[in-house]
Amino acid sequence: MYPHERSLVKRLADKPFALIGVNSDPDKEALAARLKEENITWRSFWNGPKGTGGPISTKWNVRAWPTIYILDHKGIIRAKNKRGEAMDEVVDRLLAELERERAGAGEAKDDQGGR
């Protein structure tokens, strides 16, 4: 799990991409040491001292760990529970979509300016 996430974060370091965790470990202190050990650099919400029974995962009806949502740049849910290569595929597709949209917006502006 961690190796894939680490490599994804590294590969997309200069792209408009973020891996955001919702961590459900009840013991934050013990976790701090593990973050260092595993070189986990991405940001996580903490689900609180109740662990998997914490408020965020309860509200989102998460009953299996890990549960993964992939959001596009507009915050729309585009995929759920894609792991490994399937996750990379979706993320790359959404990044390409974002780039196309930005390029398109740029062109539209230029067109307007040209008129």
Instruction: Give me the residues that bind another protein (CB under 8 A), please.
Output: 1, 5, 8, 15-25, 28, 31-32, 34-35, 38, 43-46, 51-52, 56-62, 65-80, 87, 91, 94-95, 98
Q: Is residue 95 a contact partner of residue 16, using CB atoms and an 8 Å limit?
A: yes
Rounded to 5 degrees, what angle do the CA atoms 13, 16, 20 make?
Answer: 75
Decide whether 1 or 114 has the Cβ nearer to another protein.
Answer: 1
Decide whether 39 or 114 has the Cβ nearer to another protein.
Answer: 39
Closest approach, Cβ 9 to another protein, in A, equals: 9
Closest approach, Cβ 69 to another protein, in A, equals: 4
The token pair at 106 is: 């740029």
Decide whether 74 or 115 has the Cβ nearer to another protein.
Answer: 74
d(CA 57, CA 89): 25
The token pair at 41 is: 């650099």
Closest approach, Cβ 115 to another protein, in A, equals: 28
d(CA 44, CA 27): 14
d(CA 39, CA 22): 17
Decide whether 73 or 109 has the Cβ nearer to another protein.
Answer: 73
